[in-house]
Amino acid sequence: MVYIFLADGFEEIEGLTVVDLLRRAGIEIRTVSITGTKQVMGSHKIKVEADEIFGESDYGKADMLVLPGGMPGTRHLAEHRRLVDLLKQANKEERNIAAICAAPSVLGLNGILQGKRATCFPGFEDKLAGANVTGNKTETDANIITGKGMGAAIDFSLCIIKELKDEETAGKIAAAIQYI
């Protein structure tokens, strides 16, 4: 199971592209609101109803935890102590974590990117503490996948599919959506 955590102000394309492409690949993904209600407002005022509210599942068995970027969504993710504790524990156990755009800053500010290649939205590089910041569209290093921004949402999603399934499945999804 993959969980994608949504906060008010999340970047809709970064969050929903991941959900869409993973479901096309047959990967079970649940949207999780950290707002206390299932209703989450994206950064462009698109209302989304999450599948669940934070705390309703046992995320300890997750195949991957995903953070979309956007502002102020990223700031809200970083302020959610239970989510941050979950991310730290998942990293300690070398479980998969993915973050795109500004959201890799949540990982960097909490020591999760130490010694790893990572990318993020320009202007957030200083928040990727201890990372080798590449500026590439996507980076995969050990258990961490990062994406640069909204324009990399499809590539980011395909990297997650490659990690959880295989390159062939990611290629089939890319072909099905006319990406290649």
Domain ranges of the chain: 2-175
H/E element holding 111? none
For residues 138-155, give the mean pLDDT: 98
As its CATH architecture, domain 2-175 has 3-Layer(aba) Sandwich (3.40)
Q: What is the pLDDT of residue 180?
A: 73
* Residue 49: partners with Cβ closer than 8 Å, 6 or more residues away: 38, 39, 40
Distance of CA 25 to the CA centre of its chain: 17
Residue with tokens 């102590």: 81
The answer to whether 101 is a known catalytic residue is yes
Catalytic pick from 40, 101, 106, 158? 101
Helices and strands: H and E segment counts in the chain: 6, 11
Percent of the chain residues past pLDDT 70, beyond the cut: 100
pLDDT tens, position by position, 18-60: 999 999 999 999 999 999 999 999 999 999 999 999 999 999 8
Closest by Cα among 148, 142, 147 to 115 = 142
Determine whether 148 is exposed, middle or buried from the number of CB atoms within 10 Å of its CB (0-12, 13-18, 19+): buried
Q: What pTM was computed for the model?
A: 0.97
